[in-house]
């Protein structure tokens, strides 16, 4: 059997250690009906009490090892258990359908897991993992199955598992657990996010690692590239890799506090962070983010049981703007619809919801809902520099209508004596090819562009960003995409406006040289990518990246473009 495997590099770092197989006894839910409804109800209630105590304990461990922000996940888990709607659903199934406790929990969990898994936003997809983590714990207690105790590992190991839950990850002691490799998961899994905080290397999405190793094997892994080797032959190769990683990490550390400057001394590029909620601000600042390039406002709506009021939204936006201490915060208006659903609002059934009633199309149609958000955003802008941007803009008319609506709300507030920021900018996402092609016209009206490559690529290639069957078409480096980026950036500059990017591409090490060459002004990415991007910029001149971009625009294929990037970066 091949002893090398490739997965998703989810937390950087190199490790070589003995395998520790975490092969939990699978949960098999009994299907028999409850003989004693009262006893089943008591079982469920005892399991909930026990799980709550566990979560409190885990929260304490995580608080010490990972800090308050990461420990908050266990508060979220506890709140799932405290949700009366959920427990009521368990109870109803037991009382009315004579379900046994485990079956009732399993069925309710399945419903919520399916709902969250279908959502487009990574944040909400991860909620599926939270529900599974909590409900599996309950079911294990009811069925008297062991719950893994990873905190007691006391020798150097690499954990190999189907998946690691957030609660399992929080128990890992980095002194002994040198890394973990799982069959499932990706860069945005909670396990991956925690692994990065704990600085434990992780490779996920390996599909078959669990069946490929045995307990006596030694594993070598590179958490940046996703490379795995079982019983490595040439250990010196791995020692060298580990040294290189350590050196690079030390080098990147300095870039947290350095200014963003290219090799030729240009300091006009800005590196920013993407956030999904106010609690993400700390990581952006800690990694040297020069602003927030995308605040996805959906969390306020999706983590709720009603459309958030103007006041509720104002508090959240104000907190972010204040925490950013004078650095710019770009907040995107509600990007709901498609597969991002709300429990308290029914969207129309459509054949292609991604191409349907969503984002700006929805908010322009529901000005009552839009108005609460715009007023909250305008009021928050009095506390620091704010950019408002609209998602999924397809036509100039749409943008002009949304902008005018914002200006009308502003006038109304000012008339009532409510403060609005002087530095307010009103811009738009460029994530529909039509907007990129017509950037020149849009730039007459928009203060800035922010390219949403996650969507721009899927719409340009007609390849669903969620479908595993067409991932080969999801090509950020396709010259067609580069041409759309060029149109967007040139369009903005022609009218003295700036162009940014907040799709995942902005933080990809291979994309940064190309984007510099195309003249992109602002790069917004996950907080942990900022130092790497800054270090790449420090190695490159604008002249050489412009030459790279020009050549790339003439290429026929993605591979040709990437070959050009690799050739340039090899000399650095």
Q: In 3-state terms, what secondary structure has residue 3?
A: coil
Site for ligand PEP contains 453 (CB under 6 A): yes
- Identified binder of ligand PEP from the candidate list 454, 495, 551, 562, rule CB under 6 A: 454
Reduce the DSSP state of residue 218 to 3 states and report it.
strand
Identify which range of 78-86, 95-103, 161-169, 448-456 contacts ligand PEP by CB under 6 A.
448-456
For residue 392, the minimal CB distance to ligand PEP (Å) is: 9
Q: Is residue 338 left, alpha or beta, with left meaning phi > 0 and alpha meaning psi from -120 to 50?
A: left
Q: Of Mg ion, ligand PEP, none, which one sits near residue 453, judging by CB under 5 to 8 A according to partner kind?
A: ligand PEP
Residue tagged active-site, from 77, 190, 469, 493: 190
What is the Cα gyration radius of the chain? 25
Q: Does 358 bind ligand PEP (CB under 6 A)?
A: no
Size of the site for ligand PEP (CB under 6 A): 10
555 catalytic, yes or no? no
Residue 392: name the closest of 336, 444, 326, 342 by CA: 336
**Residue 190 bears catalytic tag:** yes
Any known ligand binding at 274? Answer: no
CB of 177 to ligand PEP, least distance (A): 32
Each residue 332-351 as x (binds ligand PEP by CB under 6 A) or -, in order, gives ---x----------------
Cβ atoms within 10 Å of 153's Cβ, excluding its own: 17
Among 185, 288, 503, 507, binds ligand PEP (CB under 6 A): 503
Name which of Mg ion, ligand PEP, none residue 549 binds, using a CB cut-off of 5 to 8 Å depending on partner kind: none
Residues 6+ apart with CB under 8 A from 445: 396, 399, 400, 403
Element (H, E) at 216: none
Q: Which position among 77, 182, 409, 502 bears the catalytic label?
A: 502
Nearer to ligand PEP, 133 or 455 (CB): 455
Provide, rounded to whole angstroms, the least separation between the CB of residue 484 and ligand PEP. 13
User: Is residue 452 close enough to count as binding Mg ion by CB under 5 A?
Assistant: yes
Q: Which of 533, 430, 532 is closest to 481 using CA atoms?
A: 430
Binding status of residue 431 toward ligand PEP by CB under 6 A: yes
Residue 282 and residue 263: Cα distance in Å, rounded? Answer: 29
Q: Is 508 in the site for ligand PEP (CB under 6 A)?
A: no
455 is in an annotated binding site: yes
Residue 296 partner contact from ligand PEP, Mg ion, none using kind-dependent CB cut-offs of 5 to 8 Å: ligand PEP
**45 burial type by CB count under 10 A (0-12 exposed, 13-18 middle, 19+ buried):** middle
Cα–Cα distance between 252 and 12 in angstroms, integer?
Answer: 12
Give the footprint of ligand PEP on residues 283-322 (CB under 6 A).
Answer: 294, 296
The residues with which 292 forms a beta bridge, in sequence order, are 273, 329
The region of 60-68, 128-136, 164-172, 450-458 touching ligand PEP under the rule CB under 6 A is 450-458
Question: Whole-number minimum distance, CB 230 to Mg ion, in Å?
Answer: 39
- Least Å from the CB of residue 430 to ligand PEP: 9
Please give the Cα distance from 196 to 202 (Å, whole number). Answer: 8
In terms of C-beta density within 10 A (0-12 exposed, 13-18 middle, 19 or more buried), how is residue 96 classed? Answer: exposed
Q: Which one of 9-17, 154-162, 228-236, 449-457 is the stretch in contact with ligand PEP (CB under 6 A)?
A: 449-457
Cβ atoms of residues 232 and 218 within 8 Å: yes
Q: Closest Cα partner for 103 from 116, 114, 92?
A: 92
447 annotated to bind ligand? no
Interacting positions 542-571 with ligand PEP (CB under 6 A): none
d(CA 285, CA 257): 10
Span of 120-128, 214-222, 247-255, 450-458 interacting with Mg ion by CB under 5 A: 450-458
Mapped onto helix, strand or coil, the DSSP state of residue 4 is strand
- Regarding 455 and contact with Mg ion (CB under 5 A), the answer is yes
Q: Which positions from 419 through 438 interact with Mg ion, judged by CB under 5 A?
A: 431
Residue 205 or 503 having the CB closest to ligand PEP: 503
As measured in angstroms, the least distance from the Cβ of 431 to ligand PEP is: 5
Q: Where are the beta strands (DSSP E) in 3-113?
A: 4-6, 8-11, 14-22
Which of residues 75 and 510 has its CB atom nearest to ligand PEP in the complex?
A: 510
User: Can you tell me whether residue 219 is helix, strand or coil?
Assistant: strand
CB closer to ligand PEP out of 122 and 440: 122
Question: What does the buried/exposed string (b/e) look like for 506-541 if buried means 16 or more CB atoms within 10 Å of the residue's CB?
Answer: bbbeebbbbbbbbbbbbbbbbbbbbbbbbbbbeebe
Q: How far is the CB of 228 from ligand PEP (least distance, A)?
A: 29
Residue 140 annotated in ligand binding? no
C-alpha distance across the termini of the chain, in Å:
37
Any known ligand binding at 465?
yes
User: At its nearest, how many Å lie between ligand PEP and the CB of residue 183?
Assistant: 26
Does the annotation flag 361 for ligand binding? no
Of the candidates 4, 3, 8, the one whose C-alpha atom is nearest the C-alpha of residue 183 is 8
Interacting partner of 503 out of ligand PEP, Mg ion, none (Cβ under 5 to 8 A depending on kind): ligand PEP
Is 7 a binder of ligand PEP (CB under 6 A)?
Answer: no
Query: What residues have CB less than 8 Å from 545, skipping those under 6 apart?
Result: 513, 514, 516, 517
Say whether residue 426 binds ligand PEP (CB under 6 A): no
Q: Contact between 201 and ligand PEP (CB under 6 A)?
A: no
Give the interface size with Mg ion as a residue count (CB under 5 A). 3
**CA atoms within 13 Å, Cβ hemisphere of 276:** 13
Kindly report the three-state secondary structure assignment for every residue of 343-410. Answer: CCECCCCCCCHHHCCCHHHHHHHCHHHHHHHHHHHHHHHHHCCEEEEECCCCCHHHHHHHHHHHHHHH
Active site residues per annotation: 190, 502
- Give the binding site for ligand PEP (CB under 6 A): 294, 296, 335, 431, 452-455, 502-503
Residues annotated within a binding site for phosphoenolpyruvate: 296, 332, 454-455, 465
Residues that bind Mg ion (CB under 5 A): 431, 452, 455
């Amino acid at each position: 059997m091949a002893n090398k495997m490739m997965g998703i590099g989810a937390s950087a770092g190199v490790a070589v250690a003995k395998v520790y197989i975490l092969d939990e006894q699978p949960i098999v839910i009994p299907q028999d009906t409850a003989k004693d409804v009262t006893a089943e109800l008591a079982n469920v209630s005892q399991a909930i009490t026990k799980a709550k105590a566990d979560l409190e304990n885990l929260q304490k461990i995580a608080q010490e090892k990972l800090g308050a922000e990461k420990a908050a996940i266990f508060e979220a888990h506890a709140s799932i258990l405290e949700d009366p709607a959920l427990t009521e659903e368990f109870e109803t199934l037991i009382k009315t359908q004579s379900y046994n406790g485990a079956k009732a929990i399993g069925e309710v969990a399945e419903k919520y897991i399916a709902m969250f898994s279908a959502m487009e936003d990574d944040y909400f997809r991860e909620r599926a993992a939270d529900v599974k983590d909590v409900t599996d714990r309950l079911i294990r207690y009811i069925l008297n199955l062991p719950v893994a105790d990873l905190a007691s590992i006391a020798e150097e190991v690499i954990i190999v598992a189907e998946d690691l839950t957030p609660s399992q990850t929080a128990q890992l002691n980095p002194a002994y657990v040198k890394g973990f490799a799982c069959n499932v998961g990706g860069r945005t899994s909670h396990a991956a996010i925690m692994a990065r905080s704990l600085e434990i290397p992780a490779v996920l999405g390996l599909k078959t690692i669990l069946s490929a190793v045995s307990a006596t094997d030694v594993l070598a892994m590179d958490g940046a590239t996703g490379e795995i080797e079982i019983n490595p032959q040439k250990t010196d190769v791995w020692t060298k890799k580990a040294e290189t990683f350590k050196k690079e990490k030390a080098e990147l550390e300095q870039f947290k506090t350095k200014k963003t400057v290219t090799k030729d001394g240009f300091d006009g590029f800005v590196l920013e962070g993407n956030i999904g909620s106010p609690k993400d601000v700390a990581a952006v600042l800690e990694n040297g983010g020069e602003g927030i390039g995308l605040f996805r406002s959906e969390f306020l709506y999706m983590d709720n049981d009603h459309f958030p009021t103007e006041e509720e939204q104002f508090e959240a936006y104000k907190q972010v703007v204040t925490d950013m201490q004078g650095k710019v915060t770009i907040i995107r208006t509600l990007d709901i619809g498609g597969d991002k659903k709300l429990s308290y609002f029914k969207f129309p059934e459509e054949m292609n919801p991604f191409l349907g009633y969503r984002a700006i199309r929805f908010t322009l149609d529901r000005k009552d809902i839009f108005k609460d958000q715009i007023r909250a955003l305008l009021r928050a802008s009095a506390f620091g520099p704010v950019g408002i941007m609209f998602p999924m803009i397809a036509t100039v008319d749409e943008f002009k209508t949304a902008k005018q609506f914002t200006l009308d709300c502003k006038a109304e507030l000012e008339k009532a004596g409510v403060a609005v920021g002087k530095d307010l900018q009103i811009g738009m996402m460029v994530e529909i090819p039509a907007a990129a092609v017509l950037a020149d016209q849009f730039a007459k009206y928009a203060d800035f562009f922010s390219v949403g490559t996650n969507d721009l690529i899927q719409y340009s290639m007609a390849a669903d960003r969620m479908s595993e069957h067409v991932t080969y078409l999801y090509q950020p480096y396709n010259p067609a995409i580069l041409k759309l980026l060029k149109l967007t950036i040139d369009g903005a500059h022609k009218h003295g406006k700036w162009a940014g990017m907040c799709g995942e591409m902005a933080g990809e090490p291979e994309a940064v040289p190309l984007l510099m060459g195309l003249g992109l002004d602002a790069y917004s990415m996950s907080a942990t990518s900022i130092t790497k991007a800054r270090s790449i910029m420090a190695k490159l001149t604008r002249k050489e990246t412009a030459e790279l971009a020009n050549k790339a625009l003439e290429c026929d294929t993605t591979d040709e473009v990437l070959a050009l990037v690799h050739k340039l970066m090899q000399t650095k």
